[in-house]
Amino acid sequence: MTKAYHGNHLVNVLIGVLGLLFFIVGTLMPGVPCQRYLFLAGAVLLTLSSYLEKQVFFTVLEAILVVDAILTFCHLTILAITIITFIMVLITVVYFTVKGSFKERYLIIGTVGLFFLAMGVGTLNPIAYTIGGLFLVIYSYYSLKKGCQIALLFIILNTIFTITSAIGAYQWLVK
């Protein structure tokens, strides 16, 4: 019988918790230079956690966020980051389409969340990642119902992330 994860499940989850904590702190610091470092560290840890748990969608989601976080260190325009992000999400959609994954309708909800979250990280726009987080909470709930154990972690953490993102969005709007 094949394990549903690589390595130690508890360690994998703890790596994910640490990653999301970095992300959450980053959402509370809109416009602060260290926000980019927090997003990058969080995305790397969440990618690792998702990969170790053998969760393709969450791994792809976090890998796109790693690229977006790296792009914020490059001297690119928001338009360039937006185009690169759109291409990565489009490649993801094509991949899931070819695999027949969209037969699971809830994956569409996750993909919308992926798009908004990636756009938020790529452009440092807290409104976009608040919307993305909300869609990912919904996707995570459906994943949990389908038997994905680590989805419970993503429900809890994306709920916290969405709330803190909304707080960050409010602070960003009233500046």
- Count structural domains, the chain: 1
pLDDT over 70 at 72, yes or no: yes
Cα(48)–Cα(61) distance, integer angstroms? 11
Domain residues for the domain of 161 are 9-174
Domain contains 1: no
Domain contains 2: no
Read off the pLDDT of residues 38-55 as tens digits, 9 standing for 90 and up: 989 999 999 999 999 998
pLDDT over 90 at 91, yes or no: yes
- State the pLDDT at residue 2: 58
CB 102 within 8 A of CB 92: no
Read off the pLDDT of residues 97-125 as tens digits, 9 standing for 90 and up: 999 888 888 889 998 998 888 777 667 78
Domain contains 3: no
Domain contains 110: yes
Q: What is the pTM of this model?
A: 0.80
